[in-house]
Chain A
Amino acid sequence: MSVTHTTCSHSAADIAVSVRDLRVTLGGQAILRGVNMHLHRGQLVALIGPNGSGKTTLLRAMVGLQKPDSGEVRLFGESNLKKALPRVGYVPQRLALDRSFILSVREFLALRLRETQHWFWHRHRDTDDRLHAAMAELGAESLLDRPIAALSGGQLQRVLIVFALLKQPDLLLLDEPTAGVDSPGEQDFYETIAEVHRKHKLTVVLVSHDLSMVYRHASWVYALNGVVCCEGSPEHVMNADSLKEAYGLNVTPYHHHNHSHGPGGGHAQ
């Protein structure tokens, strides 16, 4: 499978994530078959590809949740991922929370701050102020005292993003953040992520199925199908030929510039 890409000149210090010949096999099936990529700092990078193309596996390998058979991931030049993790915020696809677990949003967020040695008995005013400000930034401050297991999909995703951002990371990894979010909420959500990217000047890596949103917000796109089929600017990657190579079928992206969803195309599931 040929790899097409547009060039982008940066020095090694500008690389936030570097992936070299990454191979992962799960249940006897080769999910990643030699992935190479260099993600530059400050970019909003989208990973697209069909189901089973290895997007989630790749993201998990980036934070050490998935051990590769071979190859290497470096975060900010560091091959020991544990050392780099304090600079990373990660938003998983979903949390398998038991309803009986009554952890409140406030408690959940305090766990990230590690100012929690005392949370069993006390609430700290400084921590409270910080959590309130962080939640207010995403318009979710009213959720602070709700049990996290009782939140809707969209509310939980916002809380997870606040959790990921609390320690001011340099890299934010989002695994299909709009799974379980309804359609208008989805659009809002991408706007929020783009806003967070602009405001915090982070590198954002986003796994997404929503091609129209990727087209609008991403600065760099990787089309994945076991290997990197194509990389480049959204305009370059999201033409019919590149997508056909990644998805193995005809997908016509709907490149719209207004705030409405395009009919039919623009979504590849």
Chain B
Amino acid sequence: MSIFSDIEPFMLRAFAVAVVMGPLCALLGVFVTARRMAFFSDTIAHGALAGIGLGFLLGFEDPTWPMVLFSLLVAAAILWLKEHTDLLTDTIMALLLSGSVAFGIIVLSMLKNKRGELHRYLFGDILSVGPDDVWLAVVLCAAIGAWLFAKLSPLALLTASEDLAHVCGVRTRWLNYAFVLVLTVVISLSIRLLGIILVTSLVVIPPAAARNLARNLRQQLILSLIIGLFGGAVGTVASYHWDIPCGPAIVMACIAVFIGSLLASKLWLNRPVKAKAV
């Protein structure tokens, strides 16, 4: 009690969200990076800006739900356009990303009392994590974490080959949709902490650092989870102590681990970071 009594409640809330969302993003990130979906994550994160603008416009004090819903809408739009047009996936995502950002900024600039919110959502704000956010993060993370653990094998098979997964009895279409849904919810809920611009880094950097050290997927999943936890915890503590923005602090903590893992793989493990075909 004495340890926590000196710490501001907002700091504890931010810490709680960071140590829950960090590992979850990192775990999802192993599949996101292997399935080349990093830009997809970035697009749905930017889609949240339009949701935030729309939420404020509709009179929401807390735009969390409009933000999650708009990100889901952007994710659905990507999937629909991919299936029903001949446009390249990158083109579709660039279109939706810039469209969402433009819409969000226009709406926020129209709402004169909400202009300050733009900076807060773009770069994340430790002060904006309320008690409700902590509960939402903990409950959702428990549910999504349980789902993810139950679906690790089908997800690994789906990532290796959709065709093989189908022949092995995996309902590939549903699993793909469920993965996108889960990723979208986790990304949009992490925005409070990391901000729209940096949120993808929590999905990309821990798996990349883990990849440098791991010999198989099991090791990469475990290491990625630990690095996500470490980044979230160290980043929020550093943010509090040195009065620096929370999102960048978490990202820099993860980057430090990445550099360490790269050096370790080159110098001590004597292992090529790039796998070579024999």
Contacts and interface: CB of A to CB of B under 8 A. Distances in A.
Nearest to A149: B275
Given A63-B167, A86-B169, A99-B275, A111 B220 contact: no
B137 to A, nearest CB: 23
Nearest to B154: A111
A106 interface: yes
Secondary structure dominating the interface of B: helix
B206 to A, nearest CB: 13
A147 B276 CA distance: 10
Contacts of A126: none
* Interface class of chain A by DSSP: loop
Contacts of A76: none
Interface in B31-71: 33-36
Given A112-B168, A119-B218, A101 B163 contact: no
A92 B214 CA distance: 28
Contacts of B35: 98
A120 B277 contact: no
B37 to A, nearest CB: 11
A107 B278 contact: no
Given A117-B153, A148-B160, A85 B169 contact: yes
Nearest to A63: B167
B217 A107 contact: yes
A103 B160 contact: yes
A258 interface: no
Interface stretch (A150-158, A214-222, A246-254): A150-158
Contacts of B115: none
Given A102-B217, A104-B215, A150 B163 contact: no
A82 interface: yes
A151 B220 contact: no
Contacts of A102: 211, 214-217, 219-220, 275
A142 to B, nearest CB: 11
B166 interface: yes
B278 A100 contact: no
B277 A151 contact: yes
B256 interface: no
Contacts of B81: none
Given A104-B215, A111-B168, 12 more contacts: A63-B166, A90-B163, A100-B208, A101-B159, A101-B160, A102-B214, A102-B216, A111-B157, A117-B153, A120-B221, A148-B160, A151-B277
21 contacts: A63-B167, A85-B168, A88-B167, A90-B163, A92-B161, A98-B35, A98-B36, A102-B275, A103-B160, A104-B217, A107-B217, A108-B160, A111-B160, A112-B168, A120-B152, A145-B216, A147-B275, A150-B275, A150-B276, A152-B277, A163-B164
Interface of B: 33-36, 149, 152-153, 156-157, 159-161, 163-164, 166-169, 208, 211, 214-222, 274-278
Interface of A: 60, 63-65, 82, 85-86, 88, 90, 92, 95-104, 106-108, 111-112, 114, 116-117, 119-121, 145, 147-152, 155, 163
